[in-house]
Chain A
């Protein structure tokens, strides 16, 4: 088990290292001069004005020292939590801007991931058992999982918010409220949260239901299932064993889907104008706020790595093979 964790943690640390290095490398070594690009975007034509601006940007990027120093400086700043100053929300530090947005994104992601995984697995397992349910769940599941996240968000916003008027269309809370610990504010939060949550939930749910249904069918073909059946074990018992075995790959699948789910949350937030990381990234793109984008990138990487680690721990809890040092979890 120690080896299992050591291996996992090593991979995550290495991934973090790669991500930070990429983040440092891309602006510096990509074709084209980022400073020049930034300067041309400001559309200042006076050459006298450009020289000091270029100097300023060189200084901001820390481009006036040798490369290896730049790299070490970058790490040093990063480990102190300093990711630069946002251009769009000048002069707010990037870390602060992002930390304000992260709770909203997490509030969407965590419940939708957990609930869709749970419900999808339950429904998928039921579907593998009943013909009529299978015939409805399967096409529905495939349609849902093939739906782009933003489109389901658009459809929900249009139908339930604009036409039916049941839910608010945009924002994290009502515009006439200030964030506070009151019941009114909390109520408003929930109302604005529900539709983005629902659209994330629906798409993810389809994928899990299909995955579970297919896994169960394969499990029921396995030797142990046939053997139990030959022994005359009740079908319920066999199903239960199949379900447990099918859960493990579904758990691995969850880890692998994290990136897709985060991407889904980002576009869903954009549709609903939800004040999380997705909207922040959109604003950063539109305002050419490079530091904010790079900061958001690192936050997403860190979040995904932590989530992966949590799933690894859960894996150890549910799969005894990893505990006894056998090669259970796909390393």
Chain B
């Protein structure tokens, strides 16, 4: 563990800072033993502890509940989220659970549609960022040399470039028309810290005996990364994805709130934008602007808590805490 710890600690900082992860001590050091162990057994062990971890189970239930709500609830409505259906500015009632907007739109329907786009943007944006970050991290860490230098330079540039500012410029000229294209832009700008962390861990793994052995046996670089290195940090990669998911959701909410969201799609950020724009605060229409923020906080917060739980599952040292 000692050779890995300093590097991992240094690199884990981005996440530890604002995005709240405690990832470095993932059992990367399990080395040869873990590599020799059949993968299925490890998965079963992890599942065993995960299902007994209150944080994982609690967080998972909240996330799944919201997911189900977003997927199922819109199916029961025969009108659209922006249609003027009810009385104007009425509070929560039996018919309109979260009340209506100043135009008589159903806030609950907007909310569940917003949850849909929230999950979509988190999944796609987080997934893309994870894919780019891990690819760059693996290649830079494993190949080393000039490739490493070049990729490092790229990572550092994207890292210090304020993503929101770039997206504002991109948006004004291109325009974001759908949730997937929004997720694409978010993904392209949120991978750098992943690349750094993955690179550092790959760097410490590439000189291990089992990697040397694989190389001696004639395995290609791609296969070594996929079959020898990645599985040894799979738990870390999974937790990284969860963080990226949460980050994408918050990022998308920011964009939607400024009015740079996809057109014609309801999102939680857009709900807040509308509420502020049409003076819901001054008019006291709290049912309009409280639910969207609460929804985001609940989903992202549950994901973060789940991550802490997973950390305890994967890192036995933390379990006693």
Q: Which residues of A contact B (CB under 8 A)?
A: 11-12, 14-15, 18-19, 22-23, 26-27, 30-32, 34, 138-139, 141-143, 145-152, 154-155, 157-158, 162-163, 169, 204, 206-208, 210-211, 214-215, 217-218, 221-223, 248-264, 266-267, 270-271, 281-282, 285-286, 288, 290, 293-294, 296-297, 300-301, 304-305, 308, 330
Contacts and interface: CB of A to CB of B under 8 A. Distances in A.
B17 A11 contact: no
A308 B111 CA distance: 38
Contacts of B272: 148, 150-151, 154
Nearest to A250: B17
B160 A304 contact: yes
Interface string B242-261: 00001000110110011110
B258 A30 contact: no
Interface in B283-304: 284, 286, 289-290, 292-294, 296-297, 299-301, 303-304
Interface string B211-235: 0000000000000000000000000
A262 B164 contact: yes
Interface stretch (B3-11, B32-40, B73-81, B96-104): B3-11
A296 B169 CA distance: 10
A252 B10 contact: yes
Contacts of B19: 145, 207
Contacts of B61: none
A227 to B, nearest CB: 12
B20 interface: yes
Given A143-B297, A218-B25, A223-B2, A267 B304 contact: no
Nearest 6 A-B pairs (CB), nearest first? A253-B17, A151-B293, A249-B13, A214-B22, A146-B301, A146-B300
Contacts of A155: 290, 293
Contacts, number: 231
B153 A14 contact: yes
A223 to B, nearest CB: 6
B72 interface: no
Interface residues of B, number: 71
A14 to B, nearest CB: 6
A303 B81 CA distance: 40
A164 to B, nearest CB: 13
Contacts of A256: 13-14, 17-18, 159, 193
Interface in B152-202: 153, 156-157, 159-166, 168-170, 172-174, 193, 196
